[in-house]
Every structure is written in C-alpha cells, then in structure tokens.
Structure 1
C-alpha cells in the first residue's frame, strides 16, 4: 500500500499528540520517523510507532520531558533527556552542538537518559544545512555478541557522518556497526523470508538464517560477521559508539542498555540512565573556506562515480545516493507500507479514535 508522506506525517504526529506530547515535540518526532521512511530506511520509520507507544504505556518514555544541560564547557555539553523520546532529545542536543560550532568551530554533545532516536542521518544532516560536518551516534538494546562470544553485549550502535557538498547532495555514511540492523530482521519477519548467512547466530554460536532466532537466545553479529572476515573491527566500532554514547554521557551501556521492546524489562541497577547518544558538528570553514571544500568534494564524488567497475552494468554508489533516490521517488509516489505495518497503525488509530490509513489510490 502506498501512503502519501503528508498523510503519514499527520498520522504519526496525531499519535504522539495522543500520548501527551506537545505540538512542537509531536511534529518533530513525526518528522524524524517520516524522514526514515522517505529515505527507504523502513525499519526506523512508522513501523516503530507502536513500539514507542508501548514504551510510553510502560512509563519508560516521558511524553513531556524537561530536557536540560547538566554539564557544559565552551565546546562540549552533556544533556539529560528526562526519559523523553530520542526523536526529540537528539535534535535538541544537535542544535546545541551547532550553536557551539557556530561560535567556536566545533561542538560536541553527549546525551543520557534518552530513548531510541530514529535514524542517525536525520540528526547529522541538521549540521550539513549549516555548512558543517555532522556526526551522530547512539547505543542501543544489547543484541550483538562480541567476536568469539554468544552473549549479547552491544547494540547495533549506528554511526553517521554527513558532509556538505556543492552541486551534489551531501555525502552521508549512516550505518549500523553490526552485520545488519535489527530492523532488517524485523522486515524479514514481516515478509516471512530468511536473512543472509552471517547476520545472526544461535545460542550455540552457529550461523543461522531464521530472522526469528533472536527470540530463542540468538544474537546479531558484529560488522564482518566472524573473525576471519573482520568482525573484530565491527566489534571495535560498536565499542566506540557505546563508550561515547553511554560511558561518556552517564547513560547505560553494554548489556545494561534498556531494550526497545516493551515486554522486556530493563536490567536492574544499571550503571547509567537510559539510552545514550553522542552528536557533533564541525564548521567546514574552521579548516578551509567552505566553498573550496565543497568544490573538492564535488570533484571527489565525480572521480569515484567514474571509477572503472567490474561489471559494466554496475556503478559505484556514493554513500547517501540510494536514500536520496528513495526519497525523491517516495515524495512523488508515496511511502510503501506492508500489510502488517498498516494493520499495526490502524490498531493505533482505533485505540486513539483517529482515522485509519487508506491506500493512496
């Protein structure tokens, strides 16, 4: 089913209003979710809307948070999200980073006591709009086993860099530090298909392709899948995200990060508060004139696009290109949603007395 992005945006905003969010926060939270759907990252869009509602029902999300700075220097800050929606807390933190960068060249903000913040790219792109390099990280529910282990210790812990270009769209690297994001498993579950070998392992550490394997004690694998293919590097990247987002901010970290699913209770006596994020902004003109950088990045893009390919029918894909293509198409034609997501959202509509979703046609 295809749903116009404007319809889906209004629907998401009304759900957030229904749980008690302010107009400002509801609009922002909906914008972050819809940005994910527009960019083709379906695992982090409105498919997660009911998950936020369930966490709110469990009183693990505060719909009316008092987000505040608890520690600060000229170029750094730590923000307490007051258990608010990460969709709201992370943009608040990034705006602080941007303001510091405007004055001092760069700004870095650690966040504690937050929740799932949607796609990292949304927050990093806020800096790009100001001719800055954007940086966004978050730790997440422990689903990933370190190399040589079968115990879930890290989240998928995404990392994102975004760079402003000139005549071309921004170069944006937005990726999980696991072999695959958990949302990819959720999509496979909804479609009833297997996942590629190397994404997950069972409780005994055997490679499996059943996307439901996490429910029986399995775990996601780090980027690289196994030691022979560099999983220690994925483990290292995920560790960096966890330390900057959790240990540095005072949020929970490692196996103590609270789960996104409401039926799992957070660990008792965690060493920190909630989910943690880390965001940053760097002024390009703190290093060289911004236009010179953007001209050279345009040249970089053109040279990589012209690289000789193994198969003439293939081309080098610049980071961020597939998402931009999806966004262009979906703004025009609507956002595709599978029946399970439509049904899930229509259940929310019934619950909150809202109009349900209908096909664009």
Structure 2
C-alpha cells in the first residue's frame, strides 16, 4: 500500500480535469468532492474512479466538461435544476448550494436535479449544510442493479441516502448509506483487493448467492438492505424506491429502470433556527450522541459509534499521514498521467 498527500493528489486531479476541458474553478470543486471520499475512508468512490467514471466519460462525450447548469422551475423553497449532462460532482455542489440559499431565506430548501451524472459520495453534499447550522439531506438514483423483494430482475439502483446534522462538540452526525446491502463501489474495491464478498451481498446469474465480486458485478443482481425477505429486505427495497421518487420521478429523469448513464439527485437543507434555537438543538444532539457512544458493548468491540465517527476519524488521520493507494490504482494513475501529459508527483 502506497500513501501520498491530499495536496499532491489534489494537484494531479485538478490538472487531469483541466486537460479534459473543465475550467479551473469547476475542476477544483470536482476534485474536492472526489477526494473527500478518500479522506473519509470511502475508497470505493474516490480516486480509484477518476479514470473510469469521470475522465473516460469526459472523453467519450457522455459528460460535458462545460455544462449550462440551470434552474428549470422555481418556487420560494424549491427548485428543479437541469445538470445539462455535466460532471455530477459539480452539479451536486451547485444544487446543494441552492438548497442552502433557499433555506437561509425561507427556513427550508429542496432541489431536485435532472440530467446529471455520477456525483460521488452523497455525504459530501449533506455535510455542506453543517457550516450553516442546518440539517443536510442528499440522495441520488442510478441505473438498476438491485433486485426488488421477491424479484428476479434488477429494478432499483443502489440509491444512496445521506443526512447530516450539526453538534455542539465532537464530530457531527453524518449518515451516508446505500439502500442496497452495500454500494456498487464495494464490489469494485473487493475485486481490486482480490477479496471474496460476504454471502448476502448479491446473487449470480443463476440467482444463487455468490462470494465473487467480479461475478456479482457482471450479474447485476445486488440485494436490497436486509438481504433477504426473512430479514426484512423490503425495507431497503422501499427506501430505494423512495429515492427513485424524489430523484427520478420528481425531477422527470425517471426511475432506475429508465436510466443508463444519466442520474437524478435530490438535496435538502433545513435551517434549525426556523424550528428551535440552534444551541438547544446542538445540546440535545450532544447528549444523544454521548449516550449512543457510551452504550455498553459486546466483548469483541470497543465502542458504539455514531454515524460519521469512522469517516471523520479517517479524515483526520489521512490528512496527517496521507491517502493510501492500492498498487492497481497507482498504476492506473500513472497511465492516466502519461495519456494526459500530467506529471504524477507523489
């Protein structure tokens, strides 16, 4: 495992985006969103996807380097935004900015987005609300990968949901979860490391459980959160459909079965002081999180964690010690650097 600094990776990725025609300011935003995944320990959605999910799609015309992001319809606290086929990393950022602006003026802001592309980690955008003493909400749909309960054909995307809430002390609350058992990126990570996946993540082409991440990716039969009907996977299936409603039906781009390389998103911001005093909210959040962390634990674990604890701890460590890169990822970056004539100074 090789490690390099966040600053070195940032410089490389920004230049790669610029080489593809993305303006500097937008390239910096897209890079920050992408690499925040690596900082938080979510390698499945970070630098490992630079080539296949972003650069290659800029190359083949699927994604526009310069897009005309615009509002199609707007009310006091809501908006429908058109991403114009641009980088989802940038479209998501602009849409969450708009949701926050609306919350500043009206107490709450909600933005649905059509015609976007893959936007990275949902938790980046929900966390944007924290600095404004707001609760942030972010989600996206994607092409069909997940089987509905009792179904044999994938009809729902992995459709992640993220919610962030500020605290007075310690790390904020930050939930970022797929509505399938795991995100699609976890299969990529397992394949990259040559590791088997647990039973209950996905089925093979014959509808049987598989522990091979390559087979699972090819079969495209992921299981909804809960894995099996006996363990309530209808809940994960239902949550995935909720995401499709807010991101796909509300935006007009369509639910997961209607998608290929385009995505719909949904963002929300709730201004806490439009409900109650911020300090009172944060004091109660602190007490709740403290109680969760002090819950008695099983003998084989050290502590109950609050959503976001692991990610913020990883962020602190990786800013200090560097971002780890698997050798396969490092080699791919070297190839990309040569192709784009961007020095890879790690």
Whether the TM-score (by the shorter chain) exceeds 0.5 is: yes
Q: Please give the secondary structure, in 2, of the residue aligned with 1:200.
A: coil
Quick one: structure 1 residues 63 and 218, their matched pair in 2 at CA, closer, same or farther if it must change by over 3 Å?
closer
1:286 lines up with 2:286 in the alignment: no
**Whole-angstrom CA distance in 2 between matches of 1:83 and 1:118:** 15
**Whole-angstrom CA distance in 2 between matches of 1:357 and 1:47:** 17
**Whole-angstrom CA distance in 1 between matches of 2:128 and 2:301:** 35
Quick one: structure 1 residues 218 and 63, their matched pair in 2 at CA, closer, same or farther if it must change by over 3 Å?
closer
Residue equivalent to 2:39: 38
Residue equivalent to 1:333: 321
1:276 lines up with 2:278 in the alignment: no
> Number of residues paired by the alignment?
344
Residue equivalent to 1:69: 71
**TM-score if structure 2 supplies the norm length?**
0.97
Residue equivalent to 1:262: none
1:132 lines up with 2:134 in the alignment: yes
Q: Is the 8 A contact 1:139 1:275 kept in 2?
A: yes
- After the TM superposition, which residues 57-206 of structure 1 pair with which residues of structure 2 at under 5 Å, given as runs? 57-206=59-208
**TM-score if structure 1 supplies the norm length?**
0.93
Unaligned runs of 5+ in 2: none
Residue equivalent to 1:269: none
Tell me how far 1:230 sits from its aligned partner: 1.1
Residue equivalent to 2:340: 352
- After the TM superposition, which residues 17-32 of structure 1 pair with which residues of structure 2 at under 5 Å, given as runs? 17-32=18-33
312, 315, 320: which one pairs with 2:303?
A: 315
Residue equivalent to 1:222: 224
Unaligned runs of 5+ in 1: 260-273
Residue equivalent to 1:12: 13
Q: Residue deviations 1:119-153, cap 9 Å, x none?
A: 11110011111000000000013211111122121
Q: Please give the secondary structure, in 2, of the residue aligned with 1:311.
A: coil
Q: Please give the secondary structure, in 2, of the residue aligned with 1:50.
A: helix
Q: Displaced runs of 4+ in structure 1, greater than 4 A?
A: none
Q: Supply the RMSD in Å over aligned alpha carbons.
A: 1.1
Q: Residue deviations 1:37-58, cap 9 Å, x none?
A: 0000001111111021111122
Residue equivalent to 1:263: none
Q: Residue deviations 1:63-85, cap 9 Å, x none?
A: 10010000010000000000000
**Whole-angstrom CA distance in 1 between matches of 2:113 and 2:251:** 6
**Whole-angstrom CA distance in 2 between matches of 1:130 and 1:215:** 39
**Whole-angstrom CA distance in 1 between matches of 2:36 and 2:68:** 25
**Whole-angstrom CA distance in 2 between matches of 1:87 and 1:253:** 20
